Amino acid sequence: MTRVTPGFSLQSTPLPGTPDAVVAAISGSIDYTNAHELRRGLMAVLESRRPRALVLEMGGVEHLDTSAAAVLVELLMEGRRRGSQVFLCQPSQSVRKLFHLSGLVDALECCCDSPAEVEKKLQAQAGA
């Protein structure tokens, strides 16, 4: 699924080697004018694909505001409720800065450096 909205794009694909995991690549700028579209797109991925893990690849995010951060926190909570792990992958400096400034540092605990790192974690969990 690819969704292009003024300001950002969202593209979701299966995580190679882990068919029940999805990578959602997000790029561009997200603020109060389009955060609802980000929410709609990410929730649609959770609902339609029901992944064991959702990897939010965020290296291409140039800017986000608190409304976008609220969407990400909501997604983390909804993922937990549904039994899906949500990972923030390669968060850009602006993403990290906003999470620190808004007191959402705990949400950064689920960060990873690459989708391949998540794949290894999931394989280790499956083998345990």
User: Structure pTM?
Assistant: 0.83
Q: What is the pLDDT of residue 110?
A: 67
Q: Which CATH superfamily is domain 2-127 in?
A: STAS domain (3.30.750.24)
Q: Compute the residue count for the chain.
A: 128
| One-letter identity of residue 37 | E
Distance between CA atoms of residues 88 and 91, nearest Å: 6
Which pLDDT tens digit goes with each residue over 18-65?
A: 878 999 999 999 999 999 999 999 999 999 989 999 999 988 999 988
Structural domain boundaries in the chain:
2-127
Q: Which two tokens stand for residue 74?
A: 């909501």
Which pLDDT tens digit goes with each residue over 68-101?
A: 989 988 998 899 899 998 888 888 888 878 877 8
Three-state DSSP at 26 gives strand
Residue from 40, 85, 38 nearest 63 by CA: 38
